[in-house]
Every structure is written in structure tokens, then in C-alpha cells.
Amino acid sequence: MNIQGQAALVTGGASGLGEATARELARLGARVAVLDVNTALAEKVAAEIGGIACACDITNTDSVNAALDKAAAAHGPARILMNVAGIGSAKRIVGKDGNAAPLEDFVRVVNVNLIGTYNISRLYAAQCAKLDPLEGGERGVMLFTASVAAFDGQVGQQAYSASKSGLVGMTLPMARDLAQHGIRVCTIAPGLFATPLLKELPEAIQQSLAASIPFPPRLGKPSEFAELACHIVANGHLNGEVIRLDGALRMAPR
């Protein structure tokens, strides 16, 4: 799909990998809606890229519908949905105090990362399926953002890894399901990227994380994620696939 002139939605577009993706889409000529719970940051990014900010909690169906409506009113129906919003967590299943991890933590992470992504994807897909097909019968493209933790989750990452491997598992059936509508679905599983989350860590920890990456031995740049996300949109034969973007990193147990 040619990105130029398309309307695009980016969840988590106010920060980190989502922000970089929103900027790259805009650079390539898309009309970009930045969907995020952080409305102040979403407004800032949207203003800088000539896009629109839409307050959106992906776990809340009313909120998602309102954001999809606002984006469509401003830019027309979207052909591109970049699901980048997500949250992290680290909790041992049996804590140092001997108590079981609180269930709420697991539910919260799975609810945002997996169920929230599914929620906006299903609502978006139903709208996209009604659009006229483009050349070759294509109607739209969806991206999920997993993590290498879907495959090699570390100690304490049960909730995060479960949520991200859920996205990995959903990729092929979603692509098969939406094939009849001409909508492609792919997933990127990033390794370690220099987003606000990691940049807050002490410099020494950042350096040791970077050194654990075989090549290149540095944190990934959000722009590298954004380039792959946009390539997935542009390359019409990429579908139903999960791509690790990690410099050959395999996470150690801890």
C-alpha cells in the first residue's frame, strides 16, 4: 500500500515507538491520528506532525469508538492501524515475602496489551472491511507490537510475556480471518529500544543492556521500529508474520 495520502491511526502514538511511527507515517505523507490515553503528549506530537490527537483508552469500547469517529471525521476512513500502545510490569509469581503475586497486576497488563489491542483491532477491521478495495484488492493493514518477551520472557515477566505472546498467537488467525476483506496483519517483536522507559534507567544499566545485544551492540532506535512498521504497510506480500527486530538478542533468564 502506498502510504502517501492515506489516513492512519497510531495507538500509543504519544510516546516512544508509537510516536516514532506517527512521525514516520507523516513524513511519508499519511494523515495521522495519534490515539493515546496521554492526551497532553498526544496533542503535542499531533501538532508537530500536522496530525490530529484523539483521546483513547484501547481497553474501553466507547473511548475507542469516539476516537475512531473523531479521526474519520478529520481524515476520512483509515486504511492503516498501528497498534503500539502497551504497558510493562515485572512481578515474581511468588514474592520475596512468600505471597502470591496479586491477580490484578496480571489482569491489568493482559487487559491493555492483549485485550485492548484486540478491542480496537476488531472495531477498526469492521470499518475497514466496508471500504472500497484499492489496487490488488487490498483494503487495509494492521500492525501489532509484541516483544521478544513473547518468546524469551525473563523472571517476573509472566504477565507481560503472556500478553505479548497472545499478540503473536493472534497474528496468523487474524490475517487468515481478514484475508477475505483484503486486510493484512503483521506483528513486530522488538528487542530493547531507546524509548522513555529505558532512557530513565541509569546509564550503566542502559550500557549493560546494550552490550547484551550481539550486533549492533546498542539499543534500537525508535526510528528503526518505525521504518519496519511502514515497510510492512508498503510491502503487499507481508502478511500473517511476526518479525523480531532485536539485533539477534535472546534475553537471559534475568
Interacting residues toward ligand NAD by CB under 6 A = 11-12, 14-18, 36-38, 56-59, 84-87, 112, 116, 145, 147, 190, 192-193, 195-198
Instruction: Look up 160 and say whether it is catalytic.
Output: yes
- Decide if 251 contacts 152 (C-beta within 8 A): yes
Nearer to ligand NAD, 93 or 197 (CB): 197
Closest distance between ligand NAD and the C-beta of residue 72, in Å? 18
**What are the contacts of 159-163 at 24+ separation with CB within 8 A?**
159/89, 159/91, 159/105, 159/106, 159/108, 159/109, 159/110, 160/88, 160/89, 160/90, 160/109, 160/113, 162/106, 162/109, 162/110, 162/114, 163/86, 163/109, 163/110, 163/112, 163/113, 163/114
Distance CA 153, CA 137 (A): 38
How is residue 157 written as a grid cell? 515477566
Nearer to ligand NAD, 7 or 58 (CB): 58
Closest distance between ligand NAD and the C-beta of residue 90, in Å? 12
Catalytic residue among 124, 144, 160, 193: 160
Closest distance between ligand NAD and the C-beta of residue 158, in Å? 15
User: Exposure of 135 by Cβ count < 10 A (0-12 exposed, 13-18 middle, 19+ buried)?
Assistant: exposed
Amino acid at 97: D
Nearer to ligand NAD, 69 or 176 (CB): 69
DSSP class of residue 195?
S
Nearer to ligand NAD, 3 or 53 (CB): 53
Closest distance between ligand NAD and the C-beta of residue 172, in Å? 19
Amino acid at 191: G
Cα Rg, the chain, nearest whole Å:
18
220-236: buried (b, 16+ CB within 10 Å) or exposed (e) per residue? bebebbbebbbebbeeb
Closest distance between ligand NAD and the C-beta of residue 179, in Å? 25
Q: Is the dihedral of CA 97, 99, 104, 108 positive or negative?
A: positive
How is residue 236 written as a grid cell? 503487499
Nearer to ligand NAD, 137 or 196 (CB): 196
Nearer to ligand NAD, 56 or 71 (CB): 56
> Catalytic site residues?
160
